[in-house]
Chains A and B, each alone.
Chain A
Amino acid sequence: AQKVTQAQTEISVVEKEDVTLDCVYETRDTTYYLFWYKQPPSGELVFLIRRNSFDEQNEISGRYSWNFQKSTSSFNFTITASQVVDSAVYFCALSEAGDGAQKLVFGQGTRLTINP
């Protein structure tokens, strides 16, 4: 069965620090997709990134970067030089191609607080 684990329930750092959010997944499918979504205090979920299981290239987008490692079934998210606006709950999610449909399985989320 598919499962996503975000072991860090809450993280609190001071502004400008780098922070890494961990995500470990379980799946039996060879083709699958990994996502990160952000839930700011306003409540809506905002898409950040999507990765397929055949693409292990790391990705950088501004201050955000993602490290995908199939060998350890991890898809970690790093924020460099964090800012107060990064405060939110971050969710890692998985969907399996074998499902034939978009049924995201979410981790429990990591609440990130950036203090000024």
Chain B
Amino acid sequence: DSGVTQTPKHLITATGQRVTLRCSPRSGDLSVYWYQQSLDQGLQFLIQYYNGEERAKGNILERFSAQQFPDLHSELNLSSLELGDSALYFCASSPNRGVSNEKLFFGSGTQLSVL
């Protein structure tokens, strides 16, 4: 058990809808990362927050947004969902601000199915 908690584990929704994925990092970790794992794109970095502020951005669509709250939990919001957004969304955390050699601790993911 990595100590990173993601809810819900599974989410089924329809095209055009909006969903929120939630992540609680390991106790004491200040950085939260979001990754998307899909069959065609593989594992892709979406975005990182450090102590409440956005620190790094990857291939995140404009329809997607994230935030990190004062208690350090994070939410990933996905809107105007399309079939292609179906994927496993991982949250990861690390103790510090997220330099290139930092080891990440991943949650079990949220499996999103858009029908």
List chain A positions with a Cβ less than 8 A from chain B: 31-33, 35, 37, 42-47, 50, 52, 91, 93, 95-97, 99-109
Contact = CB atoms under 8 A, between A and B. Distances in A.
A101 B46 CA distance: 13
25 contacts: A31-B100, A32-B100, A33-B101, A42-B108, A43-B108, A45-B104, A45-B106, A46-B2, A50-B101, A52-B101, A95-B100, A96-B100, A97-B99, A97-B100, A99-B100, A101-B55, A101-B100, A102-B31, A102-B33, A102-B56, A102-B101, A103-B58, A104-B35, A105-B45, A106-B42
Contact of B2 (A44, A103, A104): A44
Contacts of A43: 88, 108-109
Contacts, number: 74
Interface in B43-66: 43-45, 48, 55-56, 58
A107 B42 CA distance: 8
B100 A44 contact: no
Contacts of A95: 100-101
Nearest to B98: A102
B2 A102 contact: no
A28 to B, nearest CB: 14
A99 B56 CA distance: 9
